[in-house]
Every structure is written in structure tokens, then in C-alpha cells.
Structure 1
């Protein structure tokens, strides 16, 4: 049987600390009866939004932006309220997702390396795509990669993907009208987007490529990773999605920036970007049904980090963080807690709500490996969440969860630890540890460090061994 294992990174001291933490929480070991026969393995479609906050979906409390397709996905599946991204910005969050290791261990821990360079995944990294490919899955990636530049070890085709299409460089992905994209080892040029022209919208390319991948591989078992760039700025929406929002807001123009034109209605445009993402997820679900794949496909939807406010993203107007403190680049909850929806007809009960499990990006590799009946790499931080997904048993809520983040090279490192009901936040290596009781203070408004020195001591002990 494939049993999730903690690997060399979760060392003995961490296991001891876990046993002493938060006695009112429960952790459930994997069930030996959960082994899946190889012929019952699902196709997997993993959809990753970009800068979509915890509060941006109707199923998570959004009252202005319309997201009917994602709300339908949630109603037909399971929604988590305590799910976390791998980091508070793009590249490290994706590295965590790919490797099953948190930011104290994964290769890419920031958007830039110590000298300002971009860090690629290494040859000796084992990604979720490699794990699934070794188990016989056909693997595809369409969208924004951000984990390796041309000529490096981090290219998607070197990290387990049979086919990929999109952006290598995450900075280039800030444009929705790119002059070129990559398809495997070749550049595809879009001359109609040269010299400031804006003719071909990149999300249109991504969704058509995704639908074609499903059609081409309908008779195979596949893993399709879709890290779309919506709703990350620049502000740019499909014209046909703008109509439902135009004129609805007390809007102000967003001025030209970095060669991009001014946007007359920033709020309407941002809302339309979220709705465009929602619309295209509906197209994916309809394609799966049309190809007869819906009942044997696990669809996972989440976001790479919290809501953003730069470049006119106006996340605060739409309450993108919901009840949470902070946004993208913060290690408070609003920067790292994200929506998570899983849907698998006949296997995951519809209308589910898991408010107890603590699920993190480094859990996806062992989870998908278990479902695929695949061997696990040794160096993992995550656990399988299949007891929660398939049997409604909460998981992962006793263990310490770790994040670290540097905004730029040589700047102070922020750290956060979620441990049961407690959340520790340190805004610099020499800063005092803040402590929040998330069970009673989800908005992290009341620092209770002075009242709980024993919890502070436990978290500080953990932090000394949390990273390498």
C-alpha cells in the first residue's frame, strides 16, 4: 500500500513537538483500506489561479464578482476553509506545489535568488509531474511556470511534463498580450501583439490548448496542470466579459504603466478578469463531460497566494481577503490562506465543507501519488489528504506548518508557523514572535504572545529546525 511518509525533512524533533501540541485537535492516520487499484486511478486536472484571494469567490463570501462555475464546482464537491498556499508570492508557492516541500526546504524560496537571479528547480528535485509520469500518467502543463529559464534544469520538460505551453518567465506573464510563448522547446511568436499591439489575449490561447490536451489524451490517464495567469495584473479582460460590470461601479481610470494603456474602468476590468477565469473553468468541466471523462477526473482548484493590490488590482474594494488580515507578500492569513475546491463525482460527496483540516500545498504531491498508486520520493514535508477528500475525516491539524519569505535579496526574512489553533508570525530574523489564536481571532487582530509563553517557546524551538 502507498502510505504517505514524512521523509527525512520531518525529523525526530518535529515529530516529538507535534505530539505535544494542541491536545484538542485530531490527526487521523491513513486508512489501510484506502489503497486504490491501478485501473481506478483518476485523471487529474489541477487549476491554479494567480493572486486570487480567499474572498474572491461566491462560495467563499464574494458578493460583487460573479463566479457561477466555481460555485457550481464547490457545490458538487468539497470546499476547504483552512487551506494554504506554499508561499505568499508566485515562484516559491509553485516550487512547494511541485516538490512537496515547504519553503524551508524547497529549492525555489523567493521570486529572486540571493544575487537577484531567478532560481530554477534542480535536476535532483522530484516533482509531482515526475511522480505521476513514472506511474504511467501523460502529463501536461499550460500557463505560467516560473521555475526555470531557458537552458536551465528547471524547464518543464525536464521536470516531468510531456507537454507544456505558456510562460517560462513569470515577469513576462504580467502581460496578457505577449509577443511570444513557449511550446515545449520552441518559441511561438504572436506578431499581432508586437510593438504595443493587443490582438491575441493569452487566456484564449491557454484555454484552447487545455481543451485540446483533454481531447488528445481522452483515452489515456492524464495529469493536466493549469497555472493560469488570471487575475494577476496587468488589468486586461475579455471584451465579452466586461458587459456585466461596465457602469456598475464608481470607477476611476488606471493610468498607463510600463507601456500598457490606461484602463478606463479598473474595478469593472478586475471583476471581469475573475469572471473570465470562472467562465473558462466551466468550459473545462463541459469538455470533460463531453469526452465522457467527468466521472473519472479529479478537479482541484486553488490559488498561488493571497489577493494583490498592485497595478490597479483593487482587491480591497472586492474584499479579496475576506475576513483575513493581509494580502500577497504578507505571512498573515490573507497572504497565504487560499480557496481550495476538490471535485470528483461519485468519489467526493457533493456539498462538502471541511472546516477542520489544515491543508497546504506540500500535501498535494503525496495526495496525488496515493491516488495514482505511485511511489513517493523520500524528501517530503506533506501528508496525503485523501482521508478528508474521500471519507470526510479531518487531517493535518496537529502538525506545525511553516512559511518563510524574503521580498528582495538581502532583506529581512518573514516567517510564519501555523500549529493547531495558534499562528506565530515573525517579521524579521531578530523580530519578536507575534502570536494569534486563530480559533477565536481569524483576523489576527490581537497579539497574545505575552499571555502564552509556553506556546511561544514551542514555536521558537520548532523554528530553529524548520529550515535548511
Structure 2
């Protein structure tokens, strides 16, 4: 008898270990699969990286689960797993039993979901205020457990109601086909499918890594329960194989060789359990505190030397590879510059011309007629651009609105603009920030801003409004169609243009119609049902409204008395790599390449198409230069006045784009995530978090499908140096939330000192 009990206990331990291993190995494998599908440039052979990174978790959870399962079977007297018992539990038990079981599962599931949603509100505050990742993760887990437990305890009335309802259904013919657990479990799946069909853009932004991971893990566990666990020898061998595979994958992933570093993208492409776990491990293994580690392909080739790491500036020709990439740099990099921020003003322009800045949220240069797009979606802009200066190679400062707007507002990267800490995003600008509107108002301009969405309203992001005499928020609120506010926004802009004034006008109009979700406008050609088709219809609709505004400007002011600039905050891409996320979290050329057109009818170079490099950072110094405002030391861009007045190429030979997350500074995480370096023919992106580099010939390969780093190591080394040089400069001029983080740090030190004094 004792021997039989021992055999049963071993079998139970083995079954618990097996199912837990299958579930969590499947979970991490699912995260890897989703990361590969979502990134578009991660190799399939890297799908196991998430499993390898989570190997210690898988093994520990399997051990704990097997012991817990043994205890549970002893306490609850759960029968052994067999295919017939599982089938009965899922389907063939009496309808009354299935009704009670399904009602309990639905009620418990709803309670757990409610607890998680409520807990997520508390977790947001935890991650904003607790700057130690491990402590924040532990507190978040504790909050979740507490709220889920409370929700489950309070779910009794819901469970009772669901069970009562399903017991009534159980009396009907064919009730089993309605109340069985698998059928009811399919309802949420169906709801997700319907929502995906109705709201594809919204659903695409959800964190599906967790959904895919849970689905793969559950499927693997069910296979184990049905086909492996009931067979003792097969179960034993499967456990051995899974253990060995987990250990081997763990060793390979934790000590990822440089030649396999692309697998690191699996860990940091999407938010997942693996990414959170790997982030915690990396933060505690950065021994020299240089922001990099040698684990998970982090690329720190000198983990105990803070002067050598992937973010370091390589000193040319000194025989030391400070940045751990491509060896020591042996090249002359003095020829790479970003151009002057101010030049002499041309003749023939009014002392203070009226300035109209028109910006569109989420529009790529390649998606306009003057940018070569195949569909006639921008006829009014195309006609206007023929008499203006078109900068064909203009690129945004970043890939999302809150990260690129500082370039349009203050002529600087977001990292160099002082921001105010807040619970939500975007963060407001510090009131002391010197903006384009502030400078023009000081120079005697009347300044007006017309916004098109509540994202830019005072309650959400009014902190960038400094310098504007008035900001029109009524136009978008009064819009007949909330998805397409451009008619009312244009009416407000035209009213501002036509209003009698004693001073010159600076008018900034920002349109939002083509930002997702994409909705087919009324009375506009239907190009199709795909996202890009609906986007094109919205752009066609928007172009009509911009045409009205341009006509009003032309009628209001003479050629010598006006300057009109048209651009976008960032682009919008619809290629294979950007199938679900059309901008943000990338520095790809398809997203950074924006329209930039300046109409100055008095200029000799009007009507020119300029192929040289231009940056979104150039807009502020150019408009200030044209307005006869003196040089602005904090402007990071180049004045494009020579290009506008004479049709010559900009002076810059290199430009930069940056992906910087301000709130990372408060979480003790490096906010400088990615930097893009662009020359006349090459684009190079370093992802410091993933420790990956990509080099592309962006003119020949605009979708950047052919990676050139390995074949062009000399070019890659130069671009790496330029990125590190710019990063070093940006770090030395970092403002953002850095000052508030220092204040918090000082407060913490004062508290610690006070506590020490009391203890003494």
C-alpha cells in the first residue's frame, strides 16, 4: 500500500511538472512567435529566445506547481488524469453538472478580469513612482493578487446568478452545445473577432503578446493532459526532454553570442513577461553601471569597465574598440556637419511677413502627389507646391506626435526640452520654454493656433501653448463629423487670416483627419476597404480643406508679405513591416520621411525641388530667420533660407532622428532608446535597448528591406561613431524630466540621512 501511494505521488508530481512546463514553455514560445510576427525584421530562428530568457522561471514554476498539484490532489481527492475524465469534464458530464461548472468558470473569469483591470490603475501609479524595476514588479504583482482575491470573494452573487441561468438552459434540448465549457470559452474569442473586424486599428494596438502566449500555453498544456500525462513512460521522457531543452535554451539565450544578437529583438520588441523579466535581470547585472550588460546579447564587451560599452563614443585610431562594434574606428569624420541655424536674409521680403504653418498629423512625403504617390489624393497641395520650394528629402525628429512636436514647437529634440512630470502623457512643457510662438510674439507678431483634436487641448497637452495669443479649441468641438474635423478647423483658420490686424500674423493650423483610426468620409471616392484605402479617402477629403485655406491666404496677402510652410509631425507607413503599427516605436525611413514645402513667392528659388537633406528641426530656425528674428542658440536645426531664396541644397551632410521616452528617466531606465543617423545615401539606426544596428541605402531601398551592416562595415563604423557623438551631445544637453528626477533623488537622500541620524 505505501509503495502504491508513493508511485501515485510520483505520477502526480510528474504530471504537475509536465503540465506546468508545457504551459509556461508554450507561453514563452507564444511570446516569441508574436514578437517575430510583430517586428517584421526578427529572424524566425529566434522564437525560442523568450523561452530561454524565462528558463529559470519555467523550472521554478514547474517545481512549485508539481508540489502544489500533489497537495491539491491529496486535499481535494482529485482523480488521476485520463482522456475520458478530461472529456467528461469538458463535454460529456450531465447538463446540470456542466451548467454549474460553466457558471462558476464564467463568474470566476469575470471576477479575475475585473480585478486585473482595477489593479492596472494602481500599477500605473506604482511604475511612475517606484524607480526600482524589481520592487515595482513585486508591488504590481501584490496589488494584482489583492484585487483579484477581493474580486473573487465578491463574485458569489454573479456566480450564483450565472449558474441559475445556465441550469434553466440545461433543461432545453441540445443544451450541452450551449453550456459546455469549450463552447462558452469560445464566446470571448468570437467577440474579439467581431471587434477586430469592426475596429481593426484599435484592436491592432492591443497587447496581443499576452493573448497569443496564453493561447499557445493553454494549447500545449491541454495536449499534455490529453495525450501525454496519462502515459507514464511518455510523460517521464517528455519531462526530461523539456527540462534539457529549457536548460540549453536558457544557457544559449542568457549568454547569446554576438553573431546571434538579432534574437535579442524577440525579448524587447513587445511588452511581455519575457521582456519584463529580462529587463529586471539586466538592471541588476550592469555591474559597471554603464547602461549595458553582456547578458541576452546586450553587447557590453567589457562588463566591468564603464568606459567601454555599446553606447560609448569610439575614439578614432587609438586601437581600442570603445563601443564594442565594428572594431576601432579608422576614418576621418570631420566632414559631417548639420549646417548653420541663421544666415543673412534675402532681399525682396517684408521685414515681418505673415507666416502660416500648416501641419498634418501622420503624413508621409511618399503619400503625396508631389512626393510621387500613384493615387490623386492631394491635387490642391500638388498644384500649390509647383510654385513653392519642395524639400524632397525631409525627415522628422521622431516617429510619434509627442516626440516630434518639440522640434516644431521649440526647434529641439524632446530630450533637450524641459518637461513637467505628470501622471499621464504627453508631458507639458515647462513654462520657461522658449518656443517659436514666444519668439515671434516678442518680435511683434500676433500668434494664433488652431487645433483639431482633444489630444492637443489644454486639459491634455496645453503645456505647449506658450506664446500664443489665442488657441482655437471650438472648431474641432463643433465638428459635424468628429472623425473629420478639417472643415471646421479650416473655417476657423480662414477667419483668423481674414481678421483685420495691426500686426503681422503667425498662424499655426494642425490637422488630424488622417490619423488613425481610418474612417471613410462621406462624399469622397471609395478606394477600397483596406486601411490604406480609407487613409487615402481621408487624405483626399483633407486636401480639399487645405486647398480652401491656401486660397484664402493667397487672396489676403501679397507675395512679398507672406510665407507658408507645410509639413507633418511624422509619417504613416503601410508596408509589410508596419502592418499593425503605422508609426511610433520605430525610426524607419518610411515613417520619418515627411513632406516639407515652403512657399515664398518673392524668392528666386520658388518652384525648386531640393534633393538635399532637410530636417523637421529646420522649420523653427528657418521661420525665425524669415521673420527677421536674430539667431537662436538653442535651435538645433539649419536655416533653409538659402534653399528657399536661391534653390541651393542645404549645407548639412548628416541629420539625426531620435526615439527618446522621457518618463524612462524616472524609472531608472535609459530614455535614449534609438537614434537614427542619415547621410545623403545611407540611413543607420542603433537600437540601444535591443543592441541591434541596421544600415540601409534609403534612396535605393526606401522600405529598408536589405540590411547592409555586415557587407559595409566601414560605413557602419562611421555611422556608429556619428550616432555616439550625437548621443554624447544630447546627454550633455538633456532636460526633459531629468531635473525633476534629480530633485526626487535629493529628497530620497535627505530622508535617508534623517533616518540615519535618528538611528544614531
Q: How would you bin the TM-score normalised by the shorter chain? A: 0.7 to 0.9
Question: Which residue of structure 1 aligns with residue 470 of structure 2?
Answer: 163
More strand by share: 1
CA distance in structure 1 between the partners assigned to 2:689 and 2:533 by the alignment? 41
Change (3 A) 1:217 1:92: farther
Question: Which residue of structure 2 aligns with residue 154 of structure 1?
Answer: 463
Q: Which runs of 5+ in 2 are unaligned?
A: 1-312, 317-328, 732-760
Change (3 A) 1:160 1:455: same
Question: Which residue of structure 2 aligns with residue 435 of structure 1?
Answer: 695
Q: Answer yes or no: is the 8 Å Cα contact 1:403–1:417 preserved in 2.
A: no
CA distance in structure 2 between the partners assigned to 1:391 and 1:290 by the alignment? 25
CA distance in structure 2 between the partners assigned to 1:45 and 1:350 by the alignment? 17
Residue 104 of structure 1 and its aligned partner are, at CA, apart by 3.5
Which of 64, 84, 96 aligns to 2:395? It is: 84
2:483 maps to 1:228: no
CA distance in structure 1 between the partners assigned to 2:564 and 2:604 by the alignment? 11
CA distance in structure 2 between the partners assigned to 1:268 and 1:423 by the alignment? 29
Q: Answer yes or no: is the 8 Å Cα contact 2:339–2:637 preserved in 1.
A: no
**Cα RMSD over matched residues?**
3.8
Give a deviation string over 1:159-198, Cα, whole Å, max 9, x none. Answer: 10111113xxxxxxxxxxxxxx5x8xxxx965x97xxxx5
CA distance in structure 2 between the partners assigned to 1:403 and 1:200 by the alignment? 30
Q: Secondary structure at the match of 2:414?
A: coil
Q: Answer yes or no: is the 8 Å Cα contact 2:407–2:620 preserved in 1.
A: no
Change (3 A) 1:107 1:273: farther
Give a deviation string over 1:383-407, Cα, whole Å, max 9, x none. Answer: 2111111112212432442412449
Question: Which residue of structure 2 aligns with residue 395 of structure 1?
Answer: 650
Question: Which residue of structure 1 aligns with residue 446 of structure 2?
Answer: 138
Question: Which residue of structure 2 aligns with residue 118 of structure 1?
Answer: 426
Q: Answer yes or no: is the 8 Å Cα contact 1:98–1:365 preserved in 2.
A: yes
CA distance in structure 2 between the partners assigned to 1:199 and 1:304 by the alignment? 21
Which of 38, 55, 60 aligns to 2:371? It is: 60
2:558 maps to 1:298: no
Change (3 A) 1:114 1:239: same
Question: Which residue of structure 1 aligns with residue 682 of structure 2?
Answer: 422
> Under a length normalisation based on structure 1, what TM-score does the superposition of the two structures give?
0.73
Q: Answer yes or no: is the 8 Å Cα contact 2:357–2:508 preserved in 1.
A: yes
Change (3 A) 1:51 1:281: same
Give a deviation string over 1:306-365, Cα, whole Å, max 9, x none. Answer: 115xxxxxx459x999xxx98444201112111111112132534311112x21122122
CA distance in structure 2 between the partners assigned to 1:440 and 1:237 by the alignment? 33
Q: Which runs of 5+ in 1 are unaligned?
A: 1-12, 167-180, 253-265, 309-314
Q: Secondary structure at the match of 1:60?
A: coil
Residue 137 of structure 1 and its aligned partner are, at CA, apart by 1.1
Q: Answer yes or no: is the 8 Å Cα contact 1:22–1:421 preserved in 2.
A: no
Q: Secondary structure at the match of 2:629?
A: coil
Residue 463 of structure 1 and its aligned partner are, at CA, apart by 4.5
Give a deviation string over 1:95-138, Cα, whole Å, max 9, x none. Answer: 12111112342346xxx979654310111211001111111111
CA distance in structure 1 between the partners assigned to 2:460 and 2:706 by the alignment? 48
Aligned length: 395
Question: Which residue of structure 2 aligns with residue 448 of structure 1?
Answer: 708
Which of 537, 544, 548 aligns to 1:272? It is: 537
Residue 139 of structure 1 and its aligned partner are, at CA, apart by 0.8
CA distance in structure 2 between the partners assigned to 1:414 and 1:199 by the alignment? 34
Q: Answer yes or no: is the 8 Å Cα contact 1:326–1:332 preserved in 2.
A: no
Matches within 5 A, 1:395-414: 395-406=650-661, 413-414=673-674
Greater shift, 39-48 or 70-79, is seen at: 39-48
CA distance in structure 2 between the partners assigned to 1:162 and 1:36 by the alignment? 30
Change (3 A) 1:206 1:47: same
Change (3 A) 1:223 1:348: farther
More helix by share: 2
